[in-house]
Structure 1
Amino acid sequence: MKILVIEDERKLARFIKQGLEQHGHVADLTHSGSEGLDQIAGGLYDLVLLDLMLPGQTGFEVLQNLRAFGLTVPVMILSALSDPDKVVQGLDLGAVDYLRKPFDFNELLARIRVLQRKGTMSNDVVMRVSDLEMHLVAHQVVKNKTPLDLTNREFALLELLMRKAGQLVTKNEIAEKVWAVDFDMGSNVIEVHIYQLRKKLDAVGTTGLIETIIGRGYRLKTA
């Protein structure tokens, strides 16, 4: 899944991002309400994790503007505010859940799974590129009904490439969105994962799908 985290406490935001990515999700970060709203409008997100006390726009204002703009992405509030009136206000503005800080990360993951089971998020969001199908909720990639055995990191890497099919994806972008923000750009970890992913695609007959743009990054071919 592709998840946007809108949180101005940067250490907590990085912790959430890293935890989500370790469980196979692609996570983006932003630290203000205004920037978050812009990213939601311009990106295809399956879920937004939203703090309430934000610079630019509060979380309440973000929810109001999402409704005004007709944006229907599910939003889970993560907030230290425990006033029942604030909880009710956030839910009335369209949030699908409210998790109080500090929280156990396993509880956050469990609540995300509950939303999936309830159908709050699409029951089976499917992306298709070439002869591949990626089932985001089922966390599975198939070719002609043959599943690929991908690690969480390989799945997140392929998801990023598929979301930007036909476009250049730089190593910096891969490092930021698939690995942690403190990723060592001097390592060859990305190249190793690309190599392993290519091997698994080759094994099911999908060859040459990932194109290397020398010195710049990678591109997933669309035909």
Structure 2
Amino acid sequence: MNLCSLYCAGSYRETVRHGIDGFRIPTVAAPPGAGGDLAMRHALGMDRYDLYIGKTSKFVAVDIEASAEACLRLAEDADLRRRMGDEGQRRARETFDWSAVVPAYQSLWAELAEIRRHAAPQAMPARPEVSVDPWRLDPFDQFAGYPSRTLTRDCRVRLAADGVAALELAYASPNTAFALQALPAREEAAALCQLLAEADDWRVHDLLMRMPAERRPHLFRGLVWLAKYGVVVLRPDGEGIS
């Protein structure tokens, strides 16, 4: 069953009809401009490509609560599993079989050719500068449209119920060791957790203002990693946290 939450293949979510042939699980990622250091290390040969994408993936989080709820529904409802499986097979045959894909491409090519024939010549619009290295763009600029939303300073954040224990597990995970340079230091993450424990929830901006100024951009991005490992819960501004 497709729990569509992959950041690395954001267009895949369009193949899933929520509640019909799968569940589309919300994701949150670091905002555009937050990955320049990751791209630069790759450009300079300091990180291989696998390390570059591995570190980038640390700052994309799946909504753990929504994912758990979807898995539980599937585990408890055999009819739902069967119905979604049947719908998925039907959609694959009707939409993604070559007999459907090739005519769709042919129709698209014909439509684009017709548009070009009737379109007036025009200059290409200037593109805003988004990176100092056009060959190694900030990954969160390149894929800004992939996650359900990106982290902003107006988002709300709270410490998860088992957040302190989850923090220890996150730093002990073998999947974390290779990315430590890109993550908040353990002491910084612990300090964030201590602050979060002082209130039911915080506005991200207000939380960061309690941390050293030179570390705020790094910790801002790091909040997504903490959400990824179940240490904190992130919600858009104005959405209740329960």
Report the TM-score when normalising by structure 2.
0.24
- The structure with the largest strand share of the pair is 1
Provide the TM-score with structure 1 as the length reference: 0.25
Relative CO higher for 1 or 2, CA cutoff 8 Å, sep ≥ 6?
Answer: 2
Higher helix share: 2
Q: Larger Rg: 1 or 2?
A: 2
